[in-house]
Structures are given as C-alpha cells and as structure tokens.
Amino acid sequence: MKKITITTTFSAYDSIADLPLESQDLMQQAIKARINAYAPYSKFRVGVALLLDNGKIILGSNQENAAYPSGLCAERVAVFYAGANFPEAKILQMAITAASDTNTTTVPIPPCGACRQSIAEYEIKQDTPIIIYFMGEIGAVYKSDSLKNLLPFLFDKKYL
C-alpha cells in the first residue's frame, strides 16, 4: 500500500472589502440573492452570483420543498439557469454566501458535494477554470482558482 497526498491551495481574504472590485460586486449580488432564498425548513439561506464571459450576471438562491429532496441548492439553480439560457457562455467567477436564520455564520461555507459535481461538469465542458469565492454571512472569504481544488477526484465523462 502507498499513501497519496493531495494538497489544495486557497486564498483567504479577511472580508468582502479585500476582494478585487469586480468580485466585491459579485459577492454583494450573491448576498441579495441569499436574502431571496426560499428556506422555510432548514432556515439556511444560500445565495450565488455567476459572472459569465458575456458580461451577464446570473443569480441563484436555494429553493426548498416540503417533499424533500425536491428542492435545489443555490449553486445548481444559478449554474443550470446559465446553461439553459446562455449555453455558449463560460462561467468566469462564482460568488457564494450562506447564512442561517438561527445563528450567524462567520466561516466560509463551500458548496455541497452535489453542487461541486454539477459545477465540475460545467468547468470541464467549458475547458476554463471557474474562480469560486465563498463565505458565510460575515467574515472571511475564501477563493478557489478552480473547482478542482474543492473536488480533486472529480467524476467526469472520461470514466463513462
């Protein structure tokens, strides 16, 4: 047996104010989307803003459903909307923010596994890394230069 070590690198910013201006704006839009989340069951709201290479900004928020798991995470709402409405556009950046109605989230909250796999599909399809910024409600923001940092053993079409 041998062990395999995988190392990933993220950039850490103390707050939104430390991000590049374009990314600050994207995160502010994600915060607005988060406020519009439909989360009556989990009380956990997520907002996403995507910057496409055509200049469009796509927003998404989580949408829950009493018939769990029929709801959809914010990341997939935004990515699927972009794919359906701008199929030729590339996703350049993604800003994600999450907040709880019951306590203040102060640590960066990354996308769940299902969302990571969905984002991976688009990153592979467009053959361009997607820069991902993520945060809680307040505090630090982490930046990943590619989805592959978040999902190093991603499953893609080469396995089919």
Structure tokens at 10: 């993220």
My answer on whether omega of the bond before 111 falls inside 30° of 0, hence cis, is no
The secondary structure of residue 36, as a DSSP letter, is T
How far apart are the C-alpha atoms of 34 and 45, rounded to whole Å? 6
81 in helix, strand or coil? helix
Q: Is 117 annotated as a binding residue?
A: no
User: How far is 159 from 155, CA to CA, in rounded Å?
Assistant: 7
Residue 121 annotated as binding site: no
Residues in the chain, total: 160
Q: Is there a catalytic annotation at residue 123?
A: no
Annotated ligand binding at 137? The verdict is: no
H or E, element range at 132 = strand 131-135
The answer on whether 67 is annotated among ligand-binding residues is yes
Q: Is 85 annotated as contributing to ligand binding? A: no
Q: Is 49 annotated as a binding residue?
A: no
Task: Assess whether the previous peptide bond of 69 is cis (omega < 30° from 0).
Answer: yes
Among 22, 75, 88, 123, the one annotated catalytic: 75
112 annotated as a binding-site residue? yes
Between CA 147 and CA 136 the distance in angstroms is 18
- Flag whether 38 is marked binding: no
65 annotated as belonging to a binding site for a ligand? yes
Residues making up the binding site for substrate:
62-68
Task: Please enumerate, by residue number, every residue annotated as part of a binding site.
Answer: 62-68, 73, 112, 115
The residues annotated with a catalytic role in the active site are 75
Binding residues for Zn(2+): 73, 112, 115
